A and B are shown apart, each in its own frame.
Chain A
Amino acid sequence: MAEFYDKESVRAPMSQRLQRFEPPSDTQAIGALVSVTIDGKELKVPLGTTILEASKKVGVRIPTLCYHEDLCVAGVCRICVVEVEGQPRLQASCAYPITAPIKVKTHTRQVRQARRHILDLLLSKHYGECYACFRNNNCELQALAKEYGVDFFRFGHPEKPRYRIDRSSPSVIRDMDKCILCRRCVRTCIDLQEVGVLEVNQRSNRSKVITFGEKPLGDVICINCGQCINRCPTGALRANDPTDDVWAAIDDPTKHVVIQTAPSPRAGIGECFGLEPGVPLTFEMNTALRRCGFDKVFDTNFSADLTIIEEGTELLQRLHKALVQKDKMVRFPQFTSCSPGWVKFCEHFYPEFLDHLSSAKSPQQMFGAVIKTYYAKLNDLDPKNIVTVALMPCSAKKFECNRPEMCDSGYKDIDYGLTTRELAQMISEAGIYLPAMPKSDFDDPFGTATGSGVIFGATGGVMEAALRTVIELVCGIQVEDLFAHADITPVRGFDGIRFMELPIKKVGPVPELLKGLFEDWDWLVGATLKVAVAHGTANAKRVMEDIKAGGPCSECHFIEFMACPGGCLGGGGQPIPTSPEIRAARARAIYAEDAAYEVRKSHENPAIVRLYTEFLTEGPCSHLSHHLLHTAYTPRGKYIV
């Protein structure tokens, strides 16, 4: 199992790893540390450290474009060039591993001129006006142009678009006129996510970022995770923006516009207003949303709790079928189905495993179905006049809400999916400075949520929430008895793949909620529940291959998959930029919010209890809940005909 924890193995394929410096095996002879002087500041760094990494340590800033902390080195943009004493040419600092003592100068005349020259050349092919671009003020190219004092276009500037904007995908829009060929999206798609939608074709001045066969993005095998958007330095990639439609719904007096907000955007939206990453603005956002004109503001955590109940019951049902009824058709491990990027990934690359996916819908879609049925009845509203908006950290959610099967309420369960960035835009448009808003709570009847719902935003959160509920419902004990403060730490963290085993030593009585489905838990005594967590589709792929090969993952009962690195908090709809530190800060915000909740377990959520007594009276995984809260998947395959 050790190879799963090996950080190298969960990243770029062989071809990319060769670009990294392999430190000599006998470091004693050469000395493991090497001294380097950067702009007169001397320091010692481990062999193989790049000049760029070393310069960060002494606080020297070197500009970068194609370099990204999450991605392997490309060294294509050359903006990070520096002068290395004794070398005739400038060197790209991001791709220069230090193997001998060197002296580096980062802003000599030659360097400054080269950088300015590169910028001028990039701008000579970059079509687009900054004030008509969604990345205005958040664009790395624009920032560099300012930094290097670009005040005219030395090599001209395109006056007409050369490419047609590709709007075929429901999630991601591609505008190649703004592309500077840094290949961050290519490395994201091929190496980080291992989906393989984008690549560079042709040579030299004809090269361009393309999809397979230069087909529209909507027709190729894209899982809509939007990681490329988060890493694009310019506005070449962006999410499909429905804010105009949302405003139109708000302005229409006949429409009852309801918004649900997911946990991750709260931890990230502050970044759009200039705050440090990791400042949660949950309750400020509620006020701002009401001022924008939304009629009701609900918490997706409610339906996250609902998902836990449904998905957890499904797991128990599967276990019951396998252990008691000896049903050979039951598939293990069960996979989570909350991440629409992962679901589409599975449909494309592992269609033979669709039976493993939990049939439970994602929290977003469950909420939509509940709002247009239960909530409509409760408030005597016509569901056709209800507009459901979902604030998500995700671009794949836009695809999910447009899936044809997601209409179980008789209407489109969720009408519009908004990303964190788009909501920040709407809030600014309403003249609101979010951090200064007074705090207010969510609306009833779904106002109360639990800490379990909040942690859905971080990788391992779904698993932790499910375990909290399953332990209590089955074992009849408090989670706190097993884990301090109910923090199930083995599933937390940012390791690519994490395992946990939970032996069930004793069982309690079957709770009221599940009485219709199970008579007792005696059949679970002595069993060991094995679970795993994977984030990022590259890790998901590793888990799937391991299951195919019959490795440790195939022995698990339940596996949580998240398409994006870090889980939803690193989603494709979150504020740009992203980095491991930013994601860690957002995770801290999410876990802090969890710890602050009084109720931290899904099954204790009073709103959930009420829903099952008033509406879904037959209990979880019943006929009605299957109709509204569960779905089926499409085997898509990876061939494009």
Chain B
Amino acid sequence: MINRRILWMAVVVIVMQLTAGLWMPAGSWLTGGLSEVWAQEKPLAFTGAEIVPVSGDPIADGVLIVQNGKILAVGAAGEVDIPRDAEVRDASGYVIMPGLVDSHSHIGQGDGGDRSSALHPDVRIMDTIRPDSDTFKKAIAGGITTVNVMPGSGHLMSGQTVYLKLRPANTIEDMLLYVDEEQTIYGGLKMANGTNSLRNPPFPGTRGKSAAMVRSLYIKAQEYQKALEAGAEDPSKMPKRDLQMETLVEVLEGKRIVHNHTHRHDDILTSIRLAEEFGYRMVLHHVSEAAYVAEEIAESGFPASIIVIDSPGGKHEAVNLKFEMGPALEKAGALVGYHTDDGITDSRLFLRSAAFGVRAGMSRKTAIEAVTIANAKMMDLGDRVGTLEPGKDADFILLNGDPLSTYTHVTETWIEGNKVFDRNNEEQLPFATGGPDVFRGTGYGHHDHDHGRAQ
């Protein structure tokens, strides 16, 4: 997934930020517009908490220091120097862990897939999202700080996904998370196979047709890619701009990751077959029958972003979806993450999915990684979020107990050094519990509920 170049870049970025933090003015290197204004300049130190850095073992009596929206230091009490000018916050009795990273969600009230065609690589979900949506408040109440918002579903390609940091923002631009140095890529491409996109023309009617349609479009993109190369040599050969082709070229160049909805074991294998044919990077999503092909998934190197549903079924290709899928992928050695698919599962209960993995036999370590760093890696954001390490974004949550216990609540959510949710604030508590008109207009039109019967 993560190639050497990106890893190396991550190291450079971290080192640069570490040194920069020492002398540069506050927030000067932050990309987010709003966060520049409100990130604190004085260091803030949390002491006394159990810290789950994810990058290493839990620290029983830990210290976390953040400044200017970044993590300055993490370690055991006594081993970390707390700067003299730091504001110190006693967090005894709490657990501090990285802000949660959700690799597949439909929050933000964006539009669903467009029914005019089965293939929309040109469509951007970011053009339709409401930054002030209640669904974002719901997610931060659940401890989610970074999210991959997906368009669709019901299409072979429903459009471009968007990676968001859930900062309070007035414009979507203030929430974007860029993953490339040119600051042009801030999302992946949502694809799907299996029954998800089967319907009347222009949609495919069978699995074989689905694969053929996708392959034909990628072959066209390969030709466009060649034309672009020729155009670079000789401007008279430059092809006309084509938004669909441009996106797919980004996919072919490995800049944009494909997020592929897939359930049945043979559909999983088809996803892998196509990705390998065209050499694109891919994350498998849902992967309901993962246990049947766990070895093949691990061998392919493609990560799996999976879901926990309280019972199997609801549609034909999910009748074998069990809590055991996560542990099976772990055992096989695949990179595994959980996602909410919100509104399918509730962002407020994201940690519950990790706990259900443990229930079925997953290690606690992998389960915690599966809602943090594993998902960050699946979006090329592993160098910025997903663990508590110096130089990374100061995105973290406070919990009043074991992160995997039913009885534990997220008490505070911090993004880039700013508190964005506080359970002890009476006005914010309802975003964690619900109540009169707390969530308005948050229906989820993204999933094709024609699959089920109307209630």
Say whether A and B bind each other: no
Residues of A within 8 A of B (CB): none
